[in-house]
Amino acid sequence: MEKPDKPTPNECCGGGSCCPCVWDDYFEKLKLWQEYIKDNELYEKQTKQDQQHIKD
């Protein structure tokens, strides 16, 4: 999963009436990406611990 790109200045009208706004979509995707990274880091940490346990 790749980090989402921020909307460019010309993608948002700035009017506040779009539903959903491109920023809403961006922040939702960013949150999912952050959760994915966190979960992946925990998985890698656990895998390293498991491998070390096997060596011991």
pLDDT score at 52: 73
Q: Model confidence over 2-54: pLDDT tens digits?
A: 999 999 999 999 998 999 999 999 999 999 999 999 999 988 888 877 777 67
Q: Model confidence over 29-40: pLDDT tens digits?
A: 999 999 999 999
CB 22 within 8 A of CB 12: yes
pLDDT score at 46: 83
Cα(29)–Cα(4) distance, rounded to whole angstroms? 6
Cα(32)–Cα(12) distance, rounded to whole angstroms? 21
CB 3 within 8 A of CB 30: yes
Coil/strand/helix, residue 5: coil
Q: Is the pTM of this model over 0.75?
A: no
Cα(10)–Cα(55) distance, rounded to whole angstroms? 55
